[in-house]
């Protein structure tokens, strides 16, 4: 069975983090808005259910098919 959309979005966010330097998301500093945004999006994703609209929103934001 294929991965869920939520799993694919999580994978894409983590890949973005790696491409942005690979620092752990928890190490985001206040002056690094990109890492702060990734951390925030990942936290929202973790709290969302599989069919939550936020999953669709994040899929569109990160261009996840």
Residue 18: the pLDDT is 85
Residue 27: the pLDDT is 56
Residue 1: the pLDDT is 44
Written as one string, the DSSP assignment of 1-56 is: -PPPHHHHHHHHHHHHHHHTT---GGG--TT-HHHHHHHHHHHHHHHS-TT-HHHH
Residue 33: the pLDDT is 78
How many residues appear in the chain?
65
Distance of CA 49 to the CA centre of its chain: 14
pLDDT < 50: residue spans in the chain: 1
């Amino acid at each position: 069975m294929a991965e869920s959309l939520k799993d694919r979005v999580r994978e894409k966010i983590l890949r973005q983090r790696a491409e942005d330097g690979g620092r752990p998301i928890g190490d985001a500093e206040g002056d690094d808005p990109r890492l702060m945004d990734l951390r925030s999006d990942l936290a929202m994703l973790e709290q969302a259910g599989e069919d939550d609209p936020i999953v669709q929103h994040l899929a569109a934001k990160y261009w996840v098919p």
